[in-house]
Amino acid sequence: MRIEDTDQNRFVSGTEEYIIESLKWCGITPNEGVGFGDGPHAPYRQSERKPIYRKYADQLVERGYAYYAFDTTEAMDSMRKQAEAANGNFAYDASTRMSLSNSLSLSAEEVKNKIATGEQYVIRLKVTPGEEITFTDLIRGEVTFKSDVVDDKVLLKSDGMPTYHLAHIVDDYLMKISHAIRGEEWLPSAPAHILIYQYLGWEKEMPFYAHLPLLLKPDGNGKLSKRDGDRLGFPVFPLAWTDSATGEKSRGYRERGYYPDAFVNMLAFLGWNSGTAQEIFSLEELAQAFSFEHIHKAGAKFDPEKAAWFNEQYLRNKSSETIADNIRDSVRTTFSFDSNDHRLSGDFLNKATELLQPRVQFEHEMLEKGNYLFVAPSNYDQPVIDKRWKPECAKFFNDLNSAYTTLIPFDAENTKFIFEKTASENNLKPGEVLQLLRVLLSGQSGGVDLFGMIALLGKDEVIKRISSALENIKK
C-alpha cells in the first residue's frame, strides 16, 4: 500500500484514511504499507522518500538523459498562449527546448551560476526525436509510439518533489513490483516511462504493463464520474465521502447497503469476465479465475441495476439467521419495540427474513417493504378493495376468522386449506378473495408468500387484523 502524495497542491485531508478504510471494508488487505504495517520496502509515502528520487534524477542528468530547466511560470504561460494563438499546442520537447532556459541551451557557466544563486529549476527528461518506443501491454498487445510525440516531462519539481513519472518508476523498481496496472488514460504517458526505465538501466526489471478500459456512464457516453452517480441516484464511491474543502457529499456503497463481497464481485466484472457463465465469485475465486486475456479493450458501461443484482445474489445466499442478526437492532429502533418483544426473537425474525429474502435486494429494504410483518397496517390498498369487494365478502371473512379460531396447528398448509374450504362454502372462488385477504392483513396488494405470512403472524394477530380491517371497510 503506497501513498502517492507528491502533488501537494492536490492533497485532500482525510483521503489516506479513507483509502485504508475502503480497502479494509472490501476485504482487500495489503501485506505491507501505509495502514497495514511496515515491511522491507518502507517508507511507503512518497513524500517521505524525497532523497531517493533526487538520487535517480541526478543520475539521469549525469548520464545526459535529463536536464535542468529554469523557465519561470510566466515564461511558460507566455509560450502556451503564443501556441494557442497560432492554433497549436505548446510542448516542451526537442523542437522547443533550445529556445528556452535550460542546461541544454545555456552555457555550463550560466547553469552553474543559476544553481549557485538559488534560482529555481525543474529536472526534465530529455527525449531523443526520431525514434520508436515499443512495449507489450498485457491487454492491448504490442504498442508503438514515435518519440516525436513524447514531450520532455518534468521528473523533479522545483520544491524537490518528484512527479508521478519519476516517483512511480523508482518505487516500482525498488519495491519489486511485478505488474503496473492502471487506467487507459495513462497509455499516452507510457512511452516516457519506458524511456526512463531504459535510461536508468532497469529495462529488464520493468514490470508488466496493463492499461485497463475506462468505466463509462450508463449510456456509454463518456467516462463515469461521481456527478453521474449523484445525478442518476447511485453510488460511485465505496464509502460515503464528504469533501472537507467544499462540504460536498458523495454516496457510498457501504452506506447504501451493499455487502463488501458483492461490491468487489461487481467491480471485477466491469471490463472483465471469467470466460464462463459463472458470475458469482468469492474474492478467493476471483483471484484464481482472473486473467488478463479476458479483460476487454473497450470501455465498460456501468449498469446500476446489475450492481444491485450482485448484492441481491449475495443476500439470497446468506442464511436467514445471519440476516436476522444483522437487522435486529434496526427492527427494534424502527418500530420502537421493547428488547423482549417476540418479534425480535430468533424464531420470528428468522422466519420473517426467510419470507422477505426473495423479494429484496438489500437488507434495509426488509424493513421498508416488509413493515407489515412487524406492525399491523393503518391504511389499506383502496383500489383493490374497490375492485374486488362484494357484499358477500364480509360474511366470508367473518367465517374465516371463526374457522381460524379453532384451527390447530396454525401453519401455512392448514390455513390455506381452511381458506379455500371457507371460500367454497361461501360460493366463492379462492381467487376472488385471495388478494383481499392479503390487503386486510398487510394493507398492500402484493408481498411475501401469503400463507407463510399468516403462519408467521400467528392466530391471534391474524384474527385481530382481519377484524380490524373489516371494521375499517364497514366505515
The reply to whether 159 and 271 lie within a common domain is: no
Does residue 201 lie in a domain region? yes
CATH number at residue 435: 1.10.10.350
Question: Does one domain contain both 107 and 169?
Answer: yes
Same domain, 412 and 462: yes
String of DSSP letters for 42-61:
---BGGG-HHHHHHHHHHHH
Number of domains in the chain: 4
C-alpha cell at position 302: 456501468
Q: Is residue 181 part of a domain?
A: yes
- Cβ 210 vs Cβ 179: under 8 Å: yes
pLDDT of residue 230: 85
pLDDT at 355: 98
Q: Can you give the CATH number for the domain in which 295 is found?
A: 1.10.1160.10
Long-range CB pairs of 425-428, under 8 A, 24+ apart, other chains included: 425/399, 426/392, 426/395, 426/396, 426/399, 427/392, 428/392, 428/393, 428/396
What local confidence, expressed as pLDDT, does residue 473 receive?
87
Q: How many CA atoms lie within 13 A of 397 on its CB side?
A: 28
pLDDT of 11: 84
Say if CB 189 and CB 165 are below 8 A apart.
yes
Here the cell at position 216 is 463509462
Point out the domain boundary residue: 146, 177, 212: 212
Same domain, 230 and 347: no
The reply to whether 443 falls in a domain is yes
How far, in Å, are 1, 205, 288, 369 from residue 177 at the CA level?
Answer: 12, 9, 20, 49
Q: Which residues of 182-214 are buried (b: 16+ CB within 10 A; e: fewer)?
A: eebeebeebbbbbbbbebbebeeebbebbbbbb
Same domain, residue pair 130 and 251: no
Integer Cα distance of 447 and 440 in angstroms? 13
Q: Which residues are catalytic?
A: 226
Say how far apart CA 175 and CA 194 lie, in whole Å: 17
Together in a domain, 65 and 200: yes
**Cα separation of 436 and 230, whole Å?**
40
H or E element, residue 230 = helix 226-232
- Half-sphere exposure of residue 108, counting CA atoms within 13 Å on the CB side? 0
Inside any domain, residue 361:
yes
The last residue of a domain, from among 171, 188, 212: 212
How far is the CA of 119 from the CAs of 99, 108, 116, 397, in angstroms? Answer: 19, 15, 8, 93
Residues 341 and 357 reside in one and the same domain: yes
| Alpha-carbon span 272 to 252, nearest angstrom | 23
Predicted confidence at residue 299, as pLDDT, reads 93
Tally the C-alpha atoms within 13 A of residue 125's C-alpha that lie toward its C-beta.
27
Which residue stretches of the chain have pLDDT < 50?
Answer: none
Instruction: Identify whether residues 59 and 152 lie together within a single domain.
Output: yes
In a domain, 17, yes or no: no
Whole-angstrom Cα distance, residue 390 to residue 429? 13
Is the same domain home to 189 and 102?
Answer: yes
Domain boundary among 273, 294, 314: 314
Question: So what's the pLDDT on residue 417?
Answer: 98
Neighbours of 54 (CB within 10 A): 16
Predicted confidence at residue 363, as pLDDT, reads 98
How many angstroms separate the CA atoms of 371 and 60, rounded?
Answer: 68
The amino acid occupying position 112 is K
Place of cell 453510488: 235
In a domain, 9, yes or no: no
Say if residue 304 is preceded by a cis peptide, omega within 30 of 0. no
In terms of phi and psi (left: phi > 0; alpha: psi -120 to 50; beta: otherwise), the region of 456 is alpha
Same domain for 183 and 66: yes
Residue 11 lies in a domain: no
The reported pLDDT for the residue numbered 248 is: 86
Whether 177 and 96 map to the same domain: the answer is: yes
3 is a domain residue: no
Same-domain check for residues 200 and 116: yes
Report how far residue 194's alpha carbon sits from residue 199's, in angstroms, rounded to the nearest whole number.
Answer: 9
Q: Would you say 171 and 2 are in contact if contact means Cβ atoms under 8 Å apart?
A: yes
Q: In which domain, by residue range, is 253 found? A: 226-314
Strand partners, 67: 124
Which grid cell is 194? 519506458
Largest CA distance in the chain: 112
